[in-house]
Chain A
């Protein structure tokens, strides 16, 4: 009787694992297609980012007496952190890497909650900060899988505005940089003040500036900072889908392994039941003789 129950038990577990496997397999495919779209989006952004960088660097590097608060360091009283997390789980260690990085940073640099503030994209990060009682000034939840610039425009410009208003004296951004489908690296970048603007060999063009350099920087630098935030978001989204794909693939692999093990036990139990039945029959016949 016992072996029969456990046979049915095993059968049930095999079936349910198979169903789970179907789901994770489907989710892997979905993530894979979202990832390639996200990768495409990130690529579409590159020409804009490159051009903007080229112009900003050619202005910022052309004369040394350019003064703009976004280029100059000041004493840091309060630091802003912008973290990009996902809205859903099932993305492996995607969120925990970012949050760990954030916590490490905070523990290393700050002794009180007045010294930093956090801007969050994504529900996971938001819930985390809420639970720990970390100060969150702004958040976007339910970001679309393929964000447009308009989606982050407000948050980005407000973050830049906070810096301009001297509410924060530094802005860091923490996100997962997409290296390849199987590798994403947590990146912690200082966004503001803008420190190292790489010169991409655009020094040849000596621009006329209309109206003047300072006024142009006034327009350009916030736009530059906002575009960096958007770029990081696109990068983060590509990483998110990649992480989700990897997580789902390993879930599918695990399910396969589990099914294999269960099937082995199932066959063993079945064989044992048959053997026992035969023994019983043989034993019964022997008793009759």
Chain B
């Protein structure tokens, strides 16, 4: 059975490179599952969790600010930041979440609000994968 060569790359270097059977990501237009021999595709990803499946194992990666490029035998996820579950600093993520929530509560600036929302999303995303 053919597999997908998956690599998750960030500006700080490759996070993960391995072969998987299936990749499930959240694209802008909704959740999308990639199997081998998929048509070449480019799609931006939401701040979300990518699930990489190999046999009965599932590996999860927290993705933010990225997109993916799919080729029949290869999936490349390019993200501004990406973390696997064991690399997440739970304490930091919790603090970031609290900070963002606090900032969202005081409703003064519109641009800051956008950024705080993003920060909150990222923090929640990280916490979720650390739990699983």
Using CB atoms and an 8 Å cutoff, list the residues of chain A in contact with chain B. Answer: 41, 44-45, 47-49, 51-52, 55, 59, 148-150, 153, 205-211, 215-216, 219-220, 223, 226-227, 230-231
Contact A215–B28 (Cβ < 8 Å): yes
Tell me if A223 and B29 are in contact (CB < 8 A): no
Q: Interface majority SS on B: helix, strand, loop or mixed?
A: strand
Checking A47, A48, A206 against B40 with a beta-carbon cut-off of 8 angstroms, the contacting residue is: A206
Residue of A nearest to B77 (CB): A51
Contacts of B23 in A (CB 8 A): none
In the bound complex, do residue B43 and residue A48 qualify as a contact, i.e. CB atoms below 8 Å apart? no
A149 touches B80 (CB 8 A): yes
CB-nearest residue of chain B to A210 = B43
Contact B43 A51 (CB under 8 A): no
Min Cβ gap B84→A in Å is: 16
CB distance from A123 to the nearest CB of B (A): 24
12 more contacts with CB within 8 A, not counting A48-B9, A49-B11, are A45-B13, A47-B7, A47-B9, A48-B10, A48-B11, A51-B9, A148-B12, A208-B39, A208-B42, A210-B27, A210-B43, A211-B29
Residues in B whose Cβ lies below 8 Å from that of A153? 80
Query: Shortest beta-carbon distance, A228 to chain B, in Å?
Result: 11
DSSP class of A's interface residues: helix, strand, loop or mixed? Answer: helix
- Give Cα distance in the complex from A149 to B78, angstroms: 13
> Which of B9, B14, B41, B65 touches A210 (beta carbons < 8 Å)?
B41
- The residue on A at minimum CB distance from B9 is A48
Contact: B43 with A209, CB < 8 Å?
yes
A223 to B10, CA, bound (A): 12
Question: For residues 16 through 38 of chain B, which have their beta carbon under 8 Å from a beta carbon of chain A?
Answer: 27-29, 32
In the assembled complex, which residues on chain A have CB atoms less than 8 Å from the CB atom of B7?
47
Report if B59 contacts A (CB, 8 A). Answer: no
A215-B32 Cα distance, complex, nearest whole Å = 17
CB <8 Å contact, B81 and A208 = no
Contact between B12 and A149, CB atoms less than 8 A apart: yes
Could you list some 5 contacts between A and B, CB below 8 A? Answer: A45-B13, A47-B13, A207-B40, A209-B42, A211-B29
B46-83, CB under 8 A of A: which get 1 and which 0?
00000000000000000001010101000010101100
What separation, in Å, do the CA atoms of A211 and B45 have in the docked complex? 11
Complexed CA–CA distance, A3 and B44 (Å): 80
Residues of B with C-beta under 8 A to A45: 11-13
Contacts of A219 in B (CB 8 A): 28, 44, 67
Q: For B28, give the chain A residue with the smallest CB separation.
A: A211
Known contacts A150-B81, A211-B28; is A220 also within 8 Å of B44 by CB? yes
Chain B residue contacts of A55, Cβ below 8 A = 42, 67, 69, 78
A269 CA to B5 CA, complexed, in Å: 76
Q: Is the CB of A220 within 8 A of B67?
A: yes
- In the assembled complex, the CB of A22 is this many whole angstroms from the nearest CB of chain B, namely 35
Cα A1 to Cα B27 in complex, Å, equals 87
Write the chain B residue with the least CB distance to A213. B42
Question: Nearest A residue to B45 by beta-carbon distance?
Answer: A219
Cβ-defined contact, A216 with B9, below 8 A: no
The interface residues of chain B lying within 8 Å CB-to-CB of A211 are 28-29, 43
CB distance from B115 to the nearest CB of A (A): 8
Chain A residue, CB-CB nearest to B13: A44
In-complex Cβ contact of B29 among A207, A210, A226 (8 A): A210
Q: Which chain B residue shows the least CB distance to A45?
A: B11
Chain B nearest Cβ from A57, distance in angstroms: 12
Q: A208 near B40 (CB under 8 angstroms)? A: yes
On whether A223 and B13 interact (CB within 8 A), knowing A52-B78, A210-B29, A211-B28, the answer reads no
* Chain B residues, Cβ within 8 Å of A150: 81
Chain B residues near A209 (CB-CB < 8 A): 41-43
| A205 and B11 form a contact (CB under 8 A) | no
* Bound CA–CA A223/B45 (angstroms): 13
Q: In the complex the two chains form, what is the Cα distance from A209 to B40 in whole Å?
A: 9
CA distance A42 to B81 in the complex (A): 16
The 9 closest A-B pairs by CB, nearest first: A44-B13, A149-B11, A210-B43, A219-B44, A208-B41, A207-B42, A207-B40, A48-B9, A205-B40
